[in-house]
Amino acid sequence: MDIGDQKRAHESFATGRRDLEQLIDAFPALVWVSRPDGFADFLNRRWFSYTGMSEEQSVGRGWSVAVHPDDRGSLLGCWEALLATGVSGETEARLRRADGEYRWFLFRGEPVRDASGSVSGWLTSNIDIDDNKRATETLTRAERELRITLDTIPALVATATPDGRVDFVNAQWSREGFSPTDAGDEDKLIHPEDLLALKGKRRNSIATGEPYQVEARLRKANGQYQWCLVSAVILRDETGEIVKRYSVTTDIDARKRADELLRASELELRRLVDTIPTLIWSVTPEGEPDYVSKRMAAYYGRAVDYTAPPFNSTRLFRALSALLHPDDLHDVHQRLLQCMGTGDPFTMCYRNRRFDGVYRWVEARAEPLRDNMGRVVKWYGVTTDIDDQKRAEEALRASEQELRQLVDAVPTLIYAVDANGEPAYMNERIQAYYGVTLDDLIEVDGSRVRGAVKMRVHPADQSAVAEGLLRSYATGAPFAMQYRNYRADGALRWVESRVEPLRDEKGDVLRWYGVVIDIDDQKTAEDALRASEARFRTFVDHATDAFFLMDDQANILDVNREACASLGYSREELIGMRPRDFDASLEEASIERLMQRVSAGETITFETRHRRKEGSVFPVEIRASQFEQGGRRYHLTAVRDIADRKKAEDALKQRDAKIVRLVESNIIGIYFWEADGRILDANDEFLRIVGYDREDLIAGRLSWIEISPQEWRDRIPAQLTELRRTRVVKPYEKDYVRKDGARVTVLIYDSSFDDTAKLGVCFALDLTERKRVEEDMRAMRAELARANRVATMGQLSASIAHELNQPLAAVIANGNACQRWLSADPPNLKRAQATLERIVRDANDAADIISRTRTLFRPATSVRAPINVNEVVAEVRALVIDEMILQGVSFDTDLDPLLPAVSADRVQIQQVLVNLLRNAMDAMRSNGDEPKSISVRTGRNETGPILIEVRDNGPGFEEPKQIFEPFFTTKESGMGMGLAICRSIAQSHGGEISARNGAPRGALFSFSLPLQPGDLA
């Protein structure tokens, strides 16, 4: 090649290159141009704008800096390889954008060859494939996830190409132990029997485009076949070409086996049902006949022909019309449809045609079978041939008719009630008797039988009759009762009613027949008899004696109620017993003897003792006699419980003994008198009192009038009068003149036996001794009082003496000492002087004591102020009331509200009152049973002094004059100073105090308090 050419060539190249570079700049990609050795010497604008690099940075191999470091190596390697081989090539790598983000680019190097074919340079284009790349990656990920999903599905999933080659299986295959190739080998995988069906379905699916499902037995890795459901879809492209087949194979072996089991059990059931000698059938809820048992088929003589006309009706109607009597067809069909609509059980009797063409009565029953949700799944029916029964019933009805005519002719009241208790029939007689027909019976409480009862039965018997009847109907037991009812004419009559059931051969009640018999006449007679019997029985039963009716062998035949009550046995127990069974005293032999006497016609009475059932024994009196009746001899024994009589007798005896003891005890004189003076009897004490002896008494020498002194005899008539009136006179004291002429004082208690006062008893208590004792007591009390006075004086003087002796002893001792001090040598004058001083002091002490003692007896100077005496009484009452209550003393006051105030020493007046009240209480200590009472009265005689009176009901006193003397006392521990002080207080107030005996008893102190000159009257 010459230079010129070369130059031209070069020039043309240079020209071309410039053009090219301009073109390249416009190119919508990153492009650069390299020399044959790969040195990039031109990069287009897009490169710089994308990478943000400069030309200096990019030329040569500088562009590789923009390549992602991970991709750079492989990209450069690829580039060198291209350069070396001179062929075009491409690779992907990430290229950094100006903002730093890497994007995927397709690097493509294309050699540029000159005419000689040698490489003159390289054109490299970088196309942004990032979006594309990312989309692909997303797709790949989705595919991977899908695969994982498919692998996780517990079913065998496979895809196949249109030519049948399996191109994908999921992991389940290997999990189940299949090898990857197994999925394509259908001949080996599918049971030969199912293979054909599978292939047929698939062909069909390919033809129609429908998905298909096949149940097939799949040979598992272990060689066993298991039932599977193969579901497949044929996928086509838009042109309709088959692209792929997807299949999913699910294990349904368990379900399949359960189905088979179910089918087997169903089959068994059906076989069972077929062997049952009943006609059994079923109908679907929609009314489709579903099943008839073999028996049924045999009964009808053929498989049920559903094809019979009218052909446009349902299969059910067709079946029914083939089997039923035309007259019943419509009703049965309607009823069946109705039941199916409502779900109610179906029951019906109708005629159907047996295999031999005979119509027979059947009873059909159908019940719905419901599932858990309560939906009807199926209707099961049973049909029973009841033709024979039906005929029997009809025959019966006919004979009944006949019977009814017969019954109506019978002169008895007859009626019938059906098995349900519904009145069914009344014969003419009963209608005439009650004036009621069957149609007249109304329902009462849901029962016409009750209605009938209500209409005609006596109200008192209604409930018993109605309940009895209904109970019979319910239980099947016969009924029989006597009761009162009303006849048509309104007469109340006793009837006897009987009801018996009529039963069929099975024992079920078909009908109740009732007979009513008017027994009123008979009843009236019976009642009369019964009443008479009852009266007699009552009479015997109410007898207070126990009656025993015995035969002549002493066996008890009957007893009355008292016999049962007294012995504690029941009547039933006693009947058949013998007297020895409860006789506690008599031996068999004695009873025998007694029986013989009775048998001889004697009425005997004897006492013995009977033993009660519980073992206690009581005395009885028995009267036994014999009588004859109807040629037999009976013993009638009346037994009387004499325990009370015995007791009364004993009590009487005891009382007599007590009285005798009383009379003979001679504590008190007792005599029985007559009004004329005679003494009928007297005890020893009385004889002793009056000094007579018993001989005088017996001889009648003792007259109660004569032994009364003359002054008493005058009172006798008056006393007798009082005795007649009151039967008793108040006890009184009187004297009797003793036989020796002396007088004796007695206390008399007199009493007459009756109003006439002709006879009586008198108790005389000898008072001689008591009088003497009283006398002694009085003397003794006086002596005691004297002794007390002496003792009190002694006590007082002793206490004064003690007080005085102390200083006196000191005086004497000191006197002695003084003597000693003075007579000493030399005389101890100092001590003598001191001693003398003591003597004077102690002697003065003694003088003081004496003067103090005197003041004890002298009222101190008193303070006078106007006082209300009533208030003072109230104050004192408060002071002593507790003590009074303690001693059982009642205290009352009678205060004059108009008393003027009086000047007095309040304390001294109180002192006087307290003193008087205390004395009264002390005095009443000896009252014994006599009630203790104190009363205080205040008052004033016109302008006179105020008076205070204190009254008690104690014993009073014997010497009212002396009691105010000092040291006079009647109390054991008294000083005898109280009343003396009272008197001195009274006197210091210008008043007086006096005492006297009250009437009938007690003491009365009167204390006068004159008004002072300053007081307001």
Partner 1 sequence: MTTDPDQIVLIVDDDSRICAALENLLASKGFSSLSFPSIAAYTQFHRPDLPACLILDVQLPDISGLEFQDRADDFHPPIVFITGHGDIPSSVLAIKRGAINFLTKPFSETELMDSVQAAIDRDRVRRQERAQMSALMKLHRTLTSREREVLPLIVAGLLNKQAAAELGISEVTLQIHRGKIMQKMEADSLADLVRLAERLQIPIVHGRRKREQAQ
Among residue numbers 665 through 724, which ones bind partner 1 (CB under 8 A)?
A: none
Number of residues that bind partner 1 (CB under 8 A): 26
Judged by CB under 8 A, the residue of 295, 390, 831, 864 near partner 1 is: 831
Identity of the residue, 836 or 895, whose beta carbon is nearer to partner 1 in the bound complex: 836
Instruction: For residue 769, give the 3-state DSSP assignment.
Output: helix
The strand pairing partners of 231, in sequence order, are 213, 248
By CB under 8 A, tell whether 820 contacts partner 1. yes
Identity of the residue, 409 or 824, whose beta carbon is nearer to partner 1 in the bound complex: 824
**Binding window for partner 1 (CB under 8 A); candidates: 306-314, 353-361, 550-558, 823-831:** 823-831
Residue 800: CB minimum distance to partner 1, A: 10
**Binding window for partner 1 (CB under 8 A); candidates: 203-211, 623-631, 836-844, 940-948:** 836-844
What is the residue-wise DSSP string for 95-151? EE-TTS-EEEEEEEEEEEE-TTS-EEEEEEEEEE-HHHHHHHHHHHHHHHHHHHHHH
Residue 811: CB minimum distance to partner 1, A: 7
Identity of the residue, 97 or 820, whose beta carbon is nearer to partner 1 in the bound complex: 820
Residue 829: CB minimum distance to partner 1, A: 13
Max distance between CA atoms of the chain, in angstroms, equals: 229
Instruction: For residue 347, give the 3-state DSSP assignment.
Output: strand
- To 10 degrees, the CA torsion angle through 595, 597, 600, 605? -100
Q: Measured between alpha carbons, how far is 173 from 152 in angstroms, rounded to an integer?
A: 11
Residue 795: CB minimum distance to partner 1, A: 11
Beta strands in 505-568 (DSSP E): 509-518, 546-551, 556-559
Identity of the residue, 481 or 810, whose beta carbon is nearer to partner 1 in the bound complex: 810
Residue 833: CB minimum distance to partner 1, A: 12
**Two structure tokens written together for 968:** 């006079």
Q: Measured between alpha carbons, how far is 82 from 121 in angstroms, rounded to an integer?
A: 12
Q: Measured between alpha carbons, how far is 76 from 74 in angstroms, rounded to an integer?
A: 6
Identity of the residue, 179 or 833, whose beta carbon is nearer to partner 1 in the bound complex: 833
Instruction: For residue 839, give the 3-state DSSP assignment.
Output: helix
User: Do the beta carbons of residue 190 and residue 199 sit within 8 Å?
Assistant: no
Identity of the residue, 538 or 844, whose beta carbon is nearer to partner 1 in the bound complex: 844
HSE value, Cβ hemisphere, 13 Å, CA-based, for 567: 30
Residue 966: CB minimum distance to partner 1, A: 22
Residue 841: CB minimum distance to partner 1, A: 8
Identity of the residue, 718 or 824, whose beta carbon is nearer to partner 1 in the bound complex: 824
Give which of 881, 884, 885 is closest to 873, Cα–Cα.
Answer: 881
What is the residue-wise DSSP string for 802-827? HHHHHHHHHHHHHHHHHHHHHHSSS-
Identity of the residue, 472 or 835, whose beta carbon is nearer to partner 1 in the bound complex: 835
Identity of the residue, 574 or 832, whose beta carbon is nearer to partner 1 in the bound complex: 832
Judged by CB under 8 A, the residue of 626, 835, 915, 953 near partner 1 is: 835
Identity of the residue, 196 or 812, whose beta carbon is nearer to partner 1 in the bound complex: 812
Count of C-beta atoms within a 10 Å radius of residue 489: 8
Residue 793: CB minimum distance to partner 1, A: 15
Identity of the residue, 516 or 832, whose beta carbon is nearer to partner 1 in the bound complex: 832
Among residue numbers 443 through 472, which ones bind partner 1 (CB under 8 A)?
A: none
Residue 849: CB minimum distance to partner 1, A: 12
What angle is formed at CA 74 by the lines to CA 73 and CA 75, rounded to 5 degrees?
90
Residue 801: CB minimum distance to partner 1, A: 6
Judged by CB under 8 A, the residue of 385, 621, 845, 1015 near partner 1 is: 845
Q: Which residues contact 16 (CB under 8 A, 6 or more apart)?
A: none
Residue 791: CB minimum distance to partner 1, A: 14
Residue 851: CB minimum distance to partner 1, A: 18
Identity of the residue, 795 or 1012, whose beta carbon is nearer to partner 1 in the bound complex: 795
Q: Measured between alpha carbons, how far is 712 from 180 in angstroms, rounded to an integer?
A: 165
Among residue numbers 757 through 816, which ones bind partner 1 (CB under 8 A)?
A: 798, 801-802, 805-814, 816
Residue 817: CB minimum distance to partner 1, A: 4
User: Do the beta carbons of residue 975 and residue 969 sit within 8 Å?
Assistant: yes
HSE value, Cβ hemisphere, 13 Å, CA-based, for 740: 8
Judged by CB under 8 A, the residue of 323, 417, 785, 817 near partner 1 is: 817
The strand pairing partners of 940, in sequence order, are 946
Residue 790: CB minimum distance to partner 1, A: 17
Identity of the residue, 799 or 962, whose beta carbon is nearer to partner 1 in the bound complex: 799
Q: Which residues contact 9 (CB under 8 A, 6 or more apart)?
A: 1
**Binding window for partner 1 (CB under 8 A); candidates: 242-250, 410-418, 743-751, 828-836:** 828-836
Q: Measured between alpha carbons, how far is 159 from 149 in angstroms, rounded to an integer?
A: 15
Identity of the residue, 807 or 976, whose beta carbon is nearer to partner 1 in the bound complex: 807
By CB under 8 A, tell whether 849 contacts partner 1. no
Phi and psi angles of residue 871, each rounded to the nearest 5 degrees, phi first? -65, -40
List Cα–Cα distances, 950 to 64, 920, 941, 944, 965, in angstroms: 157, 8, 17, 19, 19
Q: Measured between alpha carbons, how far is 191 from 177 in angstroms, rounded to an integer?
A: 18
Q: Which residue has the tokens 């037991």?
A: 477
The strand pairing partners of 236, in sequence order, are 242
Residue 840: CB minimum distance to partner 1, A: 12
Residue 797: CB minimum distance to partner 1, A: 10
Residue 856: CB minimum distance to partner 1, A: 18
Q: Measured between alpha carbons, how far is 723 from 718 in angstroms, rounded to an integer?
A: 9
Judged by CB under 8 A, the residue of 842, 905, 922, 952 near partner 1 is: 842
Identity of the residue, 604 or 800, whose beta carbon is nearer to partner 1 in the bound complex: 800
Residue 847: CB minimum distance to partner 1, A: 14
Judged by CB under 8 A, the residue of 780, 790, 824, 840 near partner 1 is: 824
CA 691 to chain centre: 87
What is the residue-wise DSSP string for 667-736? SSEEEEEETTSBEEEE-HHHHHHHT--HHHHHHT--BTTTTS-HHHHTTHHHHHHHHHHHSEEEEEEEEE
Identity of the residue, 591 or 836, whose beta carbon is nearer to partner 1 in the bound complex: 836
By CB under 8 A, tell whether 599 contacts partner 1. no
Identity of the residue, 268 or 837, whose beta carbon is nearer to partner 1 in the bound complex: 837
Identity of the residue, 723 or 811, whose beta carbon is nearer to partner 1 in the bound complex: 811
Per-residue burial over 374-389, b = 16 or more CB atoms within 10 Å of its CB, e = otherwise: eeeebbbbbbebbbee
Instruction: For residue 367, give the 3-state DSSP assignment.
Output: strand
Phi and psi angles of residue 998, each rounded to the nearest 5 degrees, phi first? -85, 170
**Contact residues: partner 1, CB under 8 A:** 798, 801-802, 805-814, 816-817, 820-821, 824, 828, 831, 834-835, 838, 841-842, 845
